[in-house]
Amino acid sequence: MRRRLSPAEAAEHGARWADVVGILTADGPAGLRVRPDRSPGLPEVAVAADDVEAVKPVPPRRPRRGRPDQT
């Protein structure tokens, strides 16, 4: 999901938008909640409906391959 930053956040980070990648856990007229999937233990991110700019599905990551044995 791409969200619009507040003017204070935009001034601090030098950008107008921020991406939130994760698992959608709730949606409704008030906004969206996303659980980050790359960093276990991070709290869910709540984004107000007015701040949501774009949403698109992202396919699951491919499983990582292990290194071949060097025997």
Q: List, for residues 29-59, the tens digit of each pLDDT value.
A: 999 999 987 777 889 999 999 999 998 888 8
State the average pLDDT over residues 22-35.
92
pLDDT of 10 higher than 60: yes
Task: Return the pLDDT at 8.
Answer: 94
Q: How confident is the model at residue 71 (pLDDT cuts 50, 70, 90)?
A: low
For the chain, state the CA radius of gyration. 16
Q: Which two tokens stand for residue 71?
A: 């025997």
Q: What is the Cα 41 distance to its own chain's centre?
A: 14
